Structure 1
């Protein structure tokens, strides 16, 4: 999630010719409609596959077709994310610049994406030709059918960036071009020196170049890929088809197909009113007690996290429903924001968390085991936050008595909410009992939500709203998948350089043995979560650190819980935590309102995380 998740046309872009806006609108339709249809097709294919298997007539080609469409979905979704400005970015530093400097940085962000795609375009074409020699075993199609998604996606993305650059001042475009040319010339000139210093050159590309790009607001995924491409071009003879191939491999793990499906499920839960009725029940049950509405928020985040898999979707489903009532009771905006952000960090391990899916994809840890293990640690942290919320309630809430809801009201809201409350249990049971895989189970949730939305709650579902919802799903999914692909390519480059072996040796020799390794991992992933975001950090460092954890005798599921919660803590911690700003946007609260208040919540979470780290039973006791 970026600090500016939906960047709109700004004042310095307003002078673009009318034909540019028309071209952008038509190009957006050309990309969004097939991307939306691909989301719907994936849902249908997987759901039909589950039904066919239930009747003992499995469709042997369904997974293969889903894999083909998935790469197309990922690439077209990434293009939609470029058009909408929804790729993950760190704009905290840029937002402090003058308006003129911000305009220049916006141009740099688009220019960096344009340059990367231009560098990789020929490699994408070569990679597609290489795949023509591959035949798919079930369908018998050429691998080119699938791989063609990469050059097509790059071409559409280049067109989108070109139109975006026409919205920027020509002086900014020239300045950015000169800067990029100077960087390229400097790296070319320094190539002999960089090759001579061995792995110290990694600092130039993966600390200096990458850090500068991220801080300047260039989308994180494209900064990863740019640093990797620059490294390979400057100090190695490795062809760039390797970058494209690794990106394809990183984006195409079938378990990652759960990401767009759970993003869609999260939107359905909000649109159908399921989130609203669950929150209404909790409010009638707990709203009258001291800190009652804070408890309701924590409980709602636990429930909704078990449905959507996306922290942004969780907060968007809960905050608009609860914040008005909490404000009426005297809670300040800063307190609301702090509690919302802390509850997002608290619930990172509630299945089907997208980070759980990513960690299973890159480390090979059992997804069923992760789904089982993730619930208790989140409950422990929820209890910790509840204690803090009660302490803070005496300082923040209006002390007037809120009447207890009559039992009849509680029972009525419970009866209304029961169908919605069953959804998270349905999802977890389907995975644990083997009815569906972690990838497929979201389609059961989608079908269930559609039935409830149409027949029970009769919420905001409409044919008119279907296309925007599917396009939004494609955009968010494309942004996530592209960053996984770019991080996979970067991880490969770091591994080939020997960095992974050096890191493994350093971590294996850490003083304090298992305890020392856990503490260093805790601090490292808090920092990584704050600076990078959870998924790229997992993709980059998961394959490196999990084998070391096994050497120390640390259970891989327990280590997964520690890592995920540590990243969640960093992800919601200002001033760099990206999801903290997502909470600000969703809650309609200025970031500075929570900068001081949030630390008591994050401090409590850190203490709870220490307990979870050194008491493995909370993570593996029910495996």
Structure 2
């Protein structure tokens, strides 16, 4: 096993250094192992990759991505910003609060961190800067608020985890509600204290709102109804997550085209292009990682790793701490989707014998990896927000460090108090 592990790590490191997509690196590793063993035909690659992508549950991913793109282009995100803005008025750090709460709502529609940053951050970062917020803080807060995307249901990585771990995607969605809200609360606290210390509330002692609360609520009502329809349909047992994703696309299209009239036929091509590129990238990850994972399973590597860790310690607390540290490091270098597909099959055999609930473990995994969205060198949310703010990526680190500690505190609480994740699924299953 040692020789194979060294080869796997070597190829992955080489791929990162050469900027080779992780999906291609995983497929290459699988081919090398198959070639060395010689007992598996190369046609196994076609069978495993096709089988992985031939999943009804995975169809939810491209539909949620498309719904997010339509809502971003069709004016729904902007109206959500106006609505939250009409409520906060003169609260300390008001514009930061708008950014966080709008991201929270938009995350409950799109399920994507990057989409949340691009949509909400694209509106709020320039506005925050114009009202006296520092560029690094505006970018750091928008990027961090976008990390709610993978945790607030519906979530793309929850869908992937559910497929990889063979657990209910609906249970994953329900389990993510309380941890997601706790993350949002930690961001609100950080925003309050940073805004007070940096005197952002003095430079912006009143959030300008061109519309009254009721007027803004009236215009945003269709956007606010979206998560109610999507999540209500899933939790009510009316539709599956995949069917809810289709409903989200149809609903967002009708609202954007017929009611708001901000999405034109000429824009649809670009919307579908963006959604297709994102969806295609994810499905390539899924197919390549499935092939890689099945090859590893044939070599008994996950089981051997689990045995090796169990020989070190059987203490559940220590093992969960080690896994948290490992996933935080993984999130710094490997894209979230790839990390879920790659490491869930390796880590589940370690924690299941300890009695860890697979739904609870899924929340822990996804929260760890969502932090990777704001940690260098990958930090895709930071890159997007920094580009919008027109600043250097590293200038945000001062504020990102504070936010990271706040979210990490929530992660540790969720890790060692499993009831935070399992309470709602158990309650609704009774």
Instruction: Place the TM-score, normalised by the shorter chain, in its bin.
Output: over 0.9
Match of 1:189 in 2: none
Higher relative contact order (CA 8 A, sep 6+): 2
Unaligned stretches of 5+ in structure 1? 1-198
Structure 2 counterparts to residues 118-267 of structure 1, below 5 A? 199-267=1-69
Residue 413 of structure 1: how far off its partner (Å): 0.6
Cα distance change, pair 296–401 in 1 and its aligned pair in 2 (3 A):
closer
Unaligned stretches of 5+ in structure 2? 426-430
Cα distance change, pair 204–556 in 1 and its aligned pair in 2 (3 A):
closer
Q: Among 520, 530, 534, which residue is 2:322 paired with?
A: 520
2: CA distance, partners of 1:408 / 1:577 = 35
SS at 1:238 equivalent: coil
Larger Rg belongs to = 1
Q: Among 88, 95, 99, which residue is 1:297 paired with?
A: 99
What is the aligned-residue RMSD (CA, Å)? 2.0
TM-score normalised per structure 1: 0.65
Which has the larger displacement, 450-459 or 305-314? 450-459
Q: Among 308, 315, 325, which residue is 1:506 paired with?
A: 308
Q: Among 130, 136, 150, which residue is 1:334 paired with?
A: 136
Match of 1:65 in 2: none
Q: Among 253, 259, 270, which residue is 2:72 paired with?
A: 270
8 Å CA contact 2:60, 2:246 repeated in 1: no
2: CA distance, partners of 1:585 / 1:485 = 31
Structure 2 counterparts to residues 525-564 of structure 1, below 5 A? 525-564=327-366
Cα distance change, pair 506–341 in 1 and its aligned pair in 2 (3 A):
farther
Match of 1:26 in 2: none
Cα distance change, pair 270–401 in 1 and its aligned pair in 2 (3 A):
closer
Aligned length: 424
2: CA distance, partners of 1:442 / 1:285 = 29
Cα distance change, pair 578–225 in 1 and its aligned pair in 2 (3 A):
farther
Match of 1:599 in 2: 401
8 Å CA contact 1:526, 1:571 repeated in 2: no
Residue 407 of structure 1: how far off its partner (Å): 11
Pair 1:370-2:176 in alignment: no
Residue 406 of structure 1: how far off its partner (Å): 8.1
1: CA distance, partners of 2:104 / 2:265 = 30
Cα distance change, pair 479–336 in 1 and its aligned pair in 2 (3 A):
same
Residue 571 of structure 1: how far off its partner (Å): 3.2
Match of 2:251 in 1: 448
Match of 2:371 in 1: 569
Residue 275 of structure 1: how far off its partner (Å): 0.7
Q: Among 107, 122, 143, which residue is 1:320 paired with?
A: 122
Q: Among 211, 221, 230, which residue is 1:427 paired with?
A: 230
1: CA distance, partners of 2:231 / 2:274 = 25
1:14-55 residue CA offsets vs partner (Å, 9 max, x unmatched): xxxxxxxxxxxxxxxxxxxxxxxxxxxxxxxxxxxxxxxxxx
Residue 263 of structure 1: how far off its partner (Å): 0.9
Which has the larger displacement, 336-345 or 583-592? 583-592
8 Å CA contact 1:346, 1:605 repeated in 2: no
Match of 1:97 in 2: none
1: CA distance, partners of 2:354 / 2:189 = 34
Pair 1:285-2:87 in alignment: yes
Residue 401 of structure 1: how far off its partner (Å): 5.4
